[in-house]
Chain A
Amino acid sequence: MVASNTRRVVIEPVTRVEGHGKVTIQLDEAGKVAQARLHIVEFRGFERFIQGRPYWEVPVLVQRLCGICPVSHHLAAAKAMDRIVGGEKLTPTAEKVRRLMHYGQFFQSHALHFFHLCSPDLLFGFDADPAIRNVIGVAAKHRELAVQGVMMRKFGQEIIRITAGKKIHGTGAVPGGVNKNVSIAERDELLREVDQMLAWSRGALKIAKDYTVEHLEELRDFGSFTSNHLSLVRDDGALDIYHGGLRAITADGEKIFDHVDYQEYLNYIMEEVRPWSYMKFPFIRSLGPAAGSYRVGPLARINTCDFIDTPEAEAARREFMAVTAGKPNNISMAYHWTRMIELLHAMEKIRDLLHDADLQGTDLLAKGRRRYEAVGLIEAPRGTLFHHYRVNDDDQVVMANLIVSTTNNNEPMNRAVRRVADDYLSGQKITEGLLNRVEVAIRAYDPCLSCATHAMGQMPLKIDLLDSAGNLLDTRSKGTA
């Protein structure tokens, strides 16, 4: 509810690929921030689109949810359908081919975010001219880095093409397994680039780490807040982005729950509907909506896991955790550092898997007792992704419920925006600095708002300052004076 005698600042970062979002900052009579909200217009209705379809089509259909990481939806749906056919205990070949697909996706997604979206903020600073604070600016001043980003993304896409059959509309994961293995020729094609990709991953991690350490005092408070963290962890507590149990910890590192079978997620996670937002707000049931929100994604994963099972990424994790003396790191901008730790981890895993002869195995499918309800859960690049389905005797999907990563991070992104507004908004003028910093804070979470339509609309980031009657007091768009 809008209080009387308030002014509202409206920021409209609108793109078609990532949904339709805007930021509204509501001021009180004294000109202080009373409220900051990130509005995300999520395209609803995808669950209904799935209903009535045969369950075996779902892993392919759900890829249309997201143009940037369709593999996450492909694998989450496939994991659910594994249980529907009783084939959740995959053959070694099937599990390793799927994992290779998933690590390939992580690699390309994290590389894209770092080089394309985040590196301009890090390389040029928050106050740099928006005309150069983008990948074109990086291309002009750091051409080698920009080329690396393109080639790393291309490598990840090649892994997806080989494991999923094609770069888009992949069909590789099917209920109970996979429909193809990785041939020797395909493996060798990828192996040729492994050393280069590892070297570039190390370089990207160094940039993210050095930047964060160098600017630690500035970043410590930037868009930051304490929160719970949630992710999958393996049985032994290791980081595992493909399978495991759910672990949630407090901002201090206390376990809220651990090794939870995600088939029971509804006993632990609830979703709150707020009248001003199309996107729901998930929270930990035992803590309630006020205290139960949590972060997901790279920062949460590195905070929740006990260790990483690849040596270079584990060394990087230890270095990262030392910054907060082993306690969870709650700095929003630390997402970038952790994202690059995961980039290196994914590349180490890709290297190891490519040397595993199980990739060339021919036992591809498992089957068992038929079920009628199942949950598939995976750590997508942006965070935990839930797929929940019910199927009838005619093999048709009768219920689907999806909680996507960005929805899990809905409340954290709102809190990051609020923190930036508190710290950088003053007076009745919208400054370029505020605009830039709101952008940077949201971008740290790498939101992908799953509207499932590709982007051509290029509406700029826009802030409108309105008085309590809705009259425009000031307006500012990205790139304008």
Chain B
Amino acid sequence: MPERSVILIGFGNPGRLDDGLGPALAARIERLDLPGVRVESAYQLAVEDAATVAACDVVVFADAATDATASYYFRQLEPAADLAFSTHALTPAVVLGLAHDLFGARTTGYVLGIRGHAFNAFGEGLSPQAETDLAAAERFIAERLRRGDFAAATTDDGAAAASVPAYEVELCRTERK
């Protein structure tokens, strides 16, 4: 049983096909009922998530990714302060930054990017490829959550995880035509 409190936040829109990978992973992890692991789902991240994250030692943000070269990647996150023009939603790095700046937290953050394949339509359900990638990501993160061991994690494609800075973490760049 992990000694630290851990939260996994799966976010995305299940009404936009593979954009729902984050909530789908959250639902699977919740069913595992892992001790010491809290699970939440969201369409998108917002300021109040900073308060939630601040109460935990470790946060894992799970989201659909279009830049993954394997089924998933897992990277450590640095707190950030970059904001878009008028977006109502925040990146995982900014949520982590607010948790640190506003609430004095020292939460460690990670992103789990799960490869998505179909985004540009309204519709429920994941693509068959995304289902496969989701299963691989679930196996990976479930094991990490059980062991409470994140820092040494590497992704399936062999890329180093912990040293990747936040600004290189760009998930789910859906193109809309």
Q: Given A67-B89, A136-B83 in contact, is the A41-B176 Cβ separation under 8 Å? A: yes
Alpha-carbon gap, A153 to B97, bound state (A): 18
Let me know if A420 is at the binding interface, CB within 8 A: no
Nearest Cβ in chain A — how far from B50, in angstroms?
6
Residues on B with beta carbons closer than 8 Å to the beta carbon of A164: none
Nearest Cβ in chain A — how far from B11, in angstroms?
6
Alpha-carbon gap, A172 to B129, bound state (A): 34
**Are A45 and B122 in touch, CB under 8 angstroms?**
yes
Residues on B with beta carbons closer than 8 Å to the beta carbon of A20: 176
Q: Given A70-B43, A153-B46, A439-B85 in contact, is the A139-B51 Cβ separation under 8 Å? A: no
**Are B63 and A456 in touch, CB under 8 angstroms?**
yes
Nearest 5 pairs between A and B by C-beta? A64-B15, A454-B44, A67-B43, A49-B122, A455-B89
- Mark B162-177 against chain A: 1 for CB-CB distance below 8 A, else 0: 0000000011111010
**Are A64 and B44 in touch, CB under 8 angstroms?**
no
Q: How large is the interface on A (under 10, 10 to 19, 20 to 34, 35 or more residues)?
A: 35 or more
Let me know if A453 is at the binding interface, CB within 8 A: yes
Let me know if B13 is at the binding interface, CB within 8 A: yes
Let me know if A353 is at the binding interface, CB within 8 A: no
Known pairs A15-B89, A455-B44; list 19 more (Cβ under 8 Å). Answer: A16-B176, A18-B87, A49-B123, A68-B44, A135-B47, A136-B94, A139-B98, A139-B101, A150-B48, A150-B51, A153-B47, A157-B48, A452-B15, A454-B172, A455-B89, A455-B91, A456-B170, A456-B173, A459-B84
Chain A residue, CB-CB nearest to B42: A168
- Mark A41-53 against chain B: 1 for CB-CB distance below 8 A, else 0: 1010110110000
Residues on A with beta carbons closer than 8 Å to the beta carbon of B63: 456
Residues on A with beta carbons closer than 8 Å to the beta carbon of B172: 454, 456
**Are A43 and B91 in touch, CB under 8 angstroms?**
no
Let me know if B73 is at the binding interface, CB within 8 A: no
Let me know if B109 is at the binding interface, CB within 8 A: no
**Are B102 and A147 in touch, CB under 8 angstroms?**
yes
**Are A68 and B47 in touch, CB under 8 angstroms?**
no
**Are B14 and A64 in touch, CB under 8 angstroms?**
yes
Let me know if B32 is at the binding interface, CB within 8 A: no
Nearest Cβ in chain B — how far from A129, in angstroms?
12
Let me know if A447 is at the binding interface, CB within 8 A: yes
> A residues near B, CB below 8 A?
13-20, 41, 43, 45-46, 48-49, 61, 64-65, 67-68, 70, 112-113, 115-117, 134-136, 139-140, 143, 146-147, 149-151, 153-154, 157, 167-169, 439, 442-443, 447-448, 451-461, 478
**Are A116 and B91 in touch, CB under 8 angstroms?**
no
Residue in B15, B47, B83, B97 whose CB lies within 8 Å of A150: B47
Residues on B with beta carbons closer than 8 Å to the beta carbon of A43: 122, 176
Residue in A113, A154, A169 whose CB lies within 8 Å of B48: A154
Residues on B with beta carbons closer than 8 Å to the beta carbon of A448: 88
Let me know if B1 is at the binding interface, CB within 8 A: no
**Are B98 and A154 in touch, CB under 8 angstroms?**
no
Residues on B with beta carbons closer than 8 Å to the beta carbon of A458: 82-84, 87, 91
Residue in A46, A139, A454 whose CB lies within 8 Å of B19: A454
Residues on A with beta carbons closer than 8 Å to the beta carbon of B98: 135-136, 139, 146, 150
**Are B86 and A443 in touch, CB under 8 angstroms?**
yes
Q: Given A439-B85, A443-B86, A454-B11 in contact, is the A67-B44 Cβ separation under 8 Å? A: yes
Let me know if B81 is at the binding interface, CB within 8 A: yes
Chain A residue, CB-CB nearest to B66: A456
Alpha-carbon gap, A66 to B172, bound state (A): 17
Chain A residue, CB-CB nearest to B22: A454
Alpha-carbon gap, A168 to B82, bound state (A): 26
Alpha-carbon gap, A265 to B48, bound state (A): 37
Let me know if B150 is at the binding interface, CB within 8 A: no
Let me know if B16 is at the binding interface, CB within 8 A: yes
Let me know if B41 is at the binding interface, CB within 8 A: yes
Most buried by A among B83, B90, B97: B83
Most buried by B among A65, A68, A134, A136: A136
Alpha-carbon gap, A457 to B119, bound state (A): 14
